[in-house]
Chains A and B, each alone.
Chain A
Amino acid sequence: MSDITVINDSEQSSLVTNGLAKNGELYLKAAGSTDAGAIVVYDSGSWRTFANEAGLPSITNTYSVDFDGTNDYMDFGTNTFINSSSAFSVSAWFDVDNITTTYPTICTLKTNLTKGFVISLSSLQAGYNGVWFGSSHNELRGFSTGNSTLATLISSGWHHLVLTYDGVDPLVSSSFTVYVDGVNYAIGSSAVGLGNYASVNYVGKGAYQFEGLIDEFAFFNTELSSTDVTAIYNSGTPTDLSSYSPVGWWRMGDNDSGTGTTVTDQGSGGNDGTLTNGPTFSTTVPS
Chain B
Amino acid sequence: MNNRQYVILNADEVSTVNFDEVLETSVDTLRYNVAGDQTFVKYEGAKPRSLYGKDTLSHSAMLTVLAGEAWTQPMEEL
Contact = CB atoms under 8 A, between A and B. Distances in A.
Interface in A68-105: 68-72, 98, 101-103
B67 A277 contact: no
Interface residues of A, number: 30
A184 interface: no
Given A66-B1, A277-B29, A278-B24, A71 B40 contact: yes
Nearest to A211: B63
Given A103-B75, A125-B78, A70 B67 contact: no
A124 interface: yes
Given A71-B40, A128-B78, A191-B78, A277 B24 contact: yes
Categorize the interface residue count of chain B. Answer: 20 to 34
A115 to B, nearest CB: 15
A208 interface: yes
Interface in B37-78: 40, 42, 59, 62-63, 66-67, 72-73, 75-78
B73 A207 contact: yes
Nearest to B76: A193
Contacts of B77: 125
Nearest to B32: A71
B25 interface: yes
Contacts of A276: 25, 29
Contacts of B75: 103, 124-125, 128, 193
Contact of A68 (B4, B67, B72, B76): B4
Contacts of A15: none
A189 interface: yes
A189 B67 CA distance: 25
A186 interface: no
A71 B67 contact: no
A248 interface: no
Interface in A202-216: 207-209, 211
Interface string A101-119: 1110000000000000000
Contacts of A277: 23-25, 29, 31
A174 B4 CA distance: 45
Looking at A70, A127, A128, A274, which has the most chain B CB atoms within 10 Å of its CB? A70
A107 to B, nearest CB: 17
A59 interface: no
A211 B63 CA distance: 10
A127 B78 CA distance: 6
A177 B45 CA distance: 45
Contacts of A191: 78
Interface of A: 66, 68-72, 98, 101-103, 124-128, 189-193, 195, 207-209, 211, 261, 274, 276-278
14 contacts: A68-B59, A70-B40, A70-B42, A70-B66, A71-B42, A101-B63, A102-B72, A124-B75, A125-B77, A126-B78, A189-B78, A190-B78, A192-B78, A195-B73
